[in-house]
């Protein structure tokens, strides 16, 4: 039967948002190609399923062809899928937003494969770039006739008979003058690579297949080698080096989700707001921003998440957050935690070597997610001053009965790393503490700035944890909150009796011992009531002459204020200056000041040269202690250098 030419009105329902024609739904014009190619892939999948049911011929291998006609200013997307009859065109095209995918799946649900289209509006995205759209289609079902449908973007359409020898559909776009970029082959290749690269059907342009087709994340991990994972990473993120490790995601209950996530080598630059993970829906690229899907602390991971069950808006350009999305985020976080536990258990040395790149994800994740915190509680490493354990001996077996190295998770603690550092867990550190100090956790945030105090603790055999990243200023208080029984003490917060010599002092006729004299000297020299002067006899020949100590709570308040104001912490105004009275320089200073009347500057009393020199040496010791902890501002350094040179000159004159 020959189809009679027909005219009519497209049936528009307000709830179906037909204003897509007026560019109200899609935010970017280029997605029209994604939608039309996706429709073609759907049609090929439908033909395969219908052929399995015996409703049509199977046909050749499916493919999508893109043809450019510069002279006619047309772009054609052609498929060899199931095609449509005249009645189906009326049903699926004219009734805007009627979801043919849902109707088709209902009929063939027992044989259904993944069908990309869920919205029915994808075809109409073509009107964002075309002033007229033609559709020439032939159904694969026996006895079908080809039809041509055309529309200029208004509710009016034309439907008539056409010539087409093979089943399938051509969508012919007559491009607007301002959209002629889409007849450039390079532009089309870029769009196919972006949106359609991993579609399971060949996409051809000028006879060349321009998409990869295979999506490794849809395969079983058993069928992928390490090189396969690395090659995918290099392809998705060129010139970014190789990944540290990866997590293969695969579940079909309670939702369908596949993917591969990679830990990149962390350089301090990461997108903690948008992220770099790519979201796909049945191998169709949807978005590179999935902050609604994965927890924020995992956003800087890289890779792919592919799921048809993540709810998208009508144009697939935005995610709709609901309970299922939150559940998916929890699943991803758990799989990441499982992979980290596996690496820490099976290869602790490798885990330690990449710890600095893993640390931001784990620490931020623990602070933001209680479930994740429970999962990774024994995976947090700290640098340590303890001597690392020897590596596994050659020929040792990790599963040998009675072998000292059999327990892989604990055989290396502290764990040696190739960067020369040793790492330990909090529980490993506590296991080496003696019973009298098993609740105190000593830590250092700056090995250079806290070198004096750190050397003191190490000289007495104390093990110190290294918490020297920016995140640790928040992570340490969080750990203390989580472990209320523990006290976290920075090495320069205070010094206990184990670092001090127990010496009795002799008082002079005025009842003052050397410690009291030194306190008076420094208090007079500095003239700063915000600096508390302490005098102790410190153990060790290398103990410094003077140290700046920062009481723990006072320093934390200062650090929090700096964080709120987005500045570096700096030295708090209120701090402790600890003078080591056993240091030769301090002993010499005490002799120099002996016999001089200590006067407060500005009190009107005359100052002798010896007294002035003692005052200047006291100030110099204080400024050196400040300099060691970064407590001198840049504008103070010039004055310090000038005073140092002047002081050395006067000492040389005196033959000191």
Residues 57 and 179 both lie in one domain:
yes
Quick: pLDDT tens for 90-127. Answer: 888 876 534 444 554 455 455 444 444 443 467 888 88
The Cα–Cα gap between 592 and 610 comes to: 7
Residues 26 and 144 both lie in one domain:
yes
- Residue 77 vs residue 399, higher pLDDT: 77
8 A C-beta contact, residue 498 and residue 440:
no
In a domain, 88, yes or no: yes
- Residue 652 vs residue 506, higher pLDDT: 652
Q: How far from chain centre, in Å, is Cα 291?
A: 11
Task: Provide the pLDDT for residue 291.
Answer: 84
Give the number of other CB atoms < 10 A from CB of residue 172.
Answer: 21
Residues 645 and 523 both lie in one domain:
yes
Is the pLDDT at 349 greater than 60? The verdict is yes
CATH of the domain at 89: 3.30.565.10
CATH of the domain at 570: 1.20.120.790
**Segment 282-288 mean pLDDT:** 88
8 A C-beta contact, residue 564 and residue 522:
no
Residues 221 and 192 both lie in one domain:
no
In a domain, 354, yes or no: no
In a domain, 460, yes or no: no
In a domain, 468, yes or no: no
In a domain, 352, yes or no: no
8 A C-beta contact, residue 353 and residue 419:
yes
User: pLDDT exceeding 90 applies to what percent of the chain?
Assistant: 47
- Residue 261 vs residue 549, higher pLDDT: 261
Q: Is the peptide bond before 147 cis (omega within 30 degrees of 0)?
A: no
**Segment 3-21 mean pLDDT:** 55
In a domain, 330, yes or no: yes
**Most confident by average pLDDT, 238-242, 607-611, 634-638:** 238-242
**Segment 268-272 mean pLDDT:** 71
Average pLDDT, the chain: 83
Query: Containing domain of residue 590, as a range?
Result: 500-504+513-653
CATH of the domain at 268: 3.30.230.80
Task: Provide the pLDDT for residue 121.
Answer: 61
pTM exceeds 0.85, yes or no: no
In a domain, 71, yes or no: yes
Residues 521 and 618 both lie in one domain:
yes
What is the Cα gyration radius of the chain?
37
Least confident of 13-27, 51-65, 127-141, 632-646: 13-27
Total domains, the chain: 3
Quick: pLDDT tens for 439-486. Answer: 899 999 988 888 888 988 998 889 999 998 888 988 999 999 999 999
Q: Which of 337, 366, 386 is the last residue of a domain?
A: 337
Is the pLDDT at 10 greater than 70? The verdict is no
Residues 200 and 223 both lie in one domain:
no
**Segment 287-313 mean pLDDT:** 86
Residues 197 and 253 both lie in one domain:
no
Q: What are phi and psi of 310, to 5 degrees?
A: -80, 120
Q: What are phi and psi of 168, to 5 degrees?
A: 140, -170
In a domain, 437, yes or no: no
Residues 113 and 230 both lie in one domain:
no
pLDDT band at 395 (very low <50, low <70, confident <90, very high): very low
- Residue 123 vs residue 279, higher pLDDT: 279
Residues 546 and 596 both lie in one domain:
yes
Q: How far from chain centre, in Å, is Cα 462?
A: 34
Residues 80 and 183 both lie in one domain:
yes
Q: Which of 305, 337, 369 is the last residue of a domain?
A: 337
Greatest alpha-carbon span in the chain = 129
**Segment 204-221 mean pLDDT:** 95
Q: Which of 180, 209, 238 is the last residue of a domain?
A: 209
User: Which residue from 613, 648, 641, 616 is spatially nearest to 627, judged by alpha carbons?
Assistant: 641
CA angle 117, 118, 122 (to 5 degrees): 60
Task: Provide the pLDDT for residue 403.
Answer: 37
Residues 186 and 52 both lie in one domain:
yes
Residues 243 and 201 both lie in one domain:
no
Task: Provide the pLDDT for residue 308.
Answer: 85
């Amino acid at each position: 039967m020959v189809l009679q030419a027909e005219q009519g009105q497209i049936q528009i329902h307000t709830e179906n948002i037909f204003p897509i024609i007026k560019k109200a739904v899609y935010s970017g014009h280029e997605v029209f190609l994604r939608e039309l190619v996706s429709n073609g892939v759907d049609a090929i999948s439908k033909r395969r399923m219908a052929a399995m049911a015996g409703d049509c011929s199977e046909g050749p291998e499916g493919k999508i062809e893109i043809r450019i006609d510069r002279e006619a200013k047309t772009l054609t997307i052609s498929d060899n899928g199931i095609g449509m009859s005249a009645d189906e065109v009326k049903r699926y095209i004219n009734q805007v937003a009627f979801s043919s995918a849902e109707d088709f799946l209902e009929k063939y649900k027992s044989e259904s494969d993944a069908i990309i289209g869920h919205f029915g509006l994808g075809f109409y995205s073509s009107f964002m770039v075309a002033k007229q759209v033609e559709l020439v289609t032939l159904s694969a079902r026996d006895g079908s006739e080809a039809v041509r449908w055309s529309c200029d973007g208004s509710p009016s359409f034309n439907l008539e008979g056409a010539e087409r020898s093979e089943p399938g559909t051509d969508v012919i776009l007559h491009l607007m003058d301002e959209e002629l970029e889409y007849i450039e082959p390079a532009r089309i290749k870029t769009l196919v690579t972006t949106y359609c690269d991993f579609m399971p059907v060949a996409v051809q342009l000028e006879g060349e297949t321009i998409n990869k087709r295979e999506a490794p994340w849809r395969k079983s991990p058993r069928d992928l080698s390490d090189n396969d994972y690395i090659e995918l990473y290099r392809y998705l993120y060129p010139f970014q080096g190789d990944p540290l490790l990866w997590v293969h995601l695969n579940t079909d209950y309670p939702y369908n989700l596949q993917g591969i996530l990679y830990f990149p080598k962390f350089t301090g630059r990461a997108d903690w707001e948008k992220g770099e993970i790519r979201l796909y829906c049945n191998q169709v690229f949807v978005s590179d921003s999935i902050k609604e899907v994965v927890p924020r602390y995992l956003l800087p991971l890289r890779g792919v998440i592919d799921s048809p069950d993540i709810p998208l808006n009508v144009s697939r350009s935005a995610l709709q957050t609901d309970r299922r999305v939150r559940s998916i985020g929890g699943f991803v976080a758990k799989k990441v935690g499982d992979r980290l536990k596996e690496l820490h258990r099976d290869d602790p040395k490798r885990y330690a070597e990449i710890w600095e790149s893993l640390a931001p994800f784990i620490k931020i994740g623990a602070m933001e997610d209680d479930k994740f915190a429970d999962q990774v509680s024994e995976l947090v490493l700290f640098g340590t001053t303890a001597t690392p354990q020897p590596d596994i001996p050659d020929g040792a077996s990790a599963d040998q009965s009675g072998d000292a190295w059999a327990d892989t998770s604990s055989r290396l603690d502290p764990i040696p790393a190739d960067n020369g550092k040793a790492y330990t867990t909090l529980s490993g550190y506590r296991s080496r503490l003696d019973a009298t100090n098993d609740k105190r956790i000593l830590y250092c945030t700056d090995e250079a700035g806290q070198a004096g105090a750190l050397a003191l603790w190490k000289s007495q055999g104390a093990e110190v944890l290294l918490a020297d990243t920016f995140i640790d200023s928040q992570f340490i208080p969080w750990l203390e909150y989580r472990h209320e029984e523990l006290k976290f003490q920075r090495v320069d917060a205070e010094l206990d009796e184990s670092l001090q010599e127990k010496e009795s002092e002799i008082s002079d006729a005025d009842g003052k011992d050397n410690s009291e004299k030194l306190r008076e000297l420094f208090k007079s020299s500095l003239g700063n009531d915000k600096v508390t002067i302490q005098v102790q006899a410190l153990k060790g020949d290398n103990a410094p002459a003077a140290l700046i100590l920062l009481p723990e709570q006072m320093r934390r308040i200062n650090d929090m204020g700096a964080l709120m104001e987005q500045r570096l912490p700096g030295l708090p105004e209120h701090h402790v200056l600890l003078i080591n009275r056993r240091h030769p320089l301090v002993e010499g200073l005490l002799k120099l000041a002996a016999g001089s009347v200590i006067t407060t500057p500005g009190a009107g009393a005359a100052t002798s040269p010896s007294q002035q020199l003692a005052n200047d040496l006291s100030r110099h010791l204080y400024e050196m202690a400040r300099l060691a902890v970064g407590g001198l501002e840049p504008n103070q350094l010039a004055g310090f250098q000038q005073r140092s040179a002047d002081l050395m000159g006067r000492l040389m004159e005196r033959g000191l």
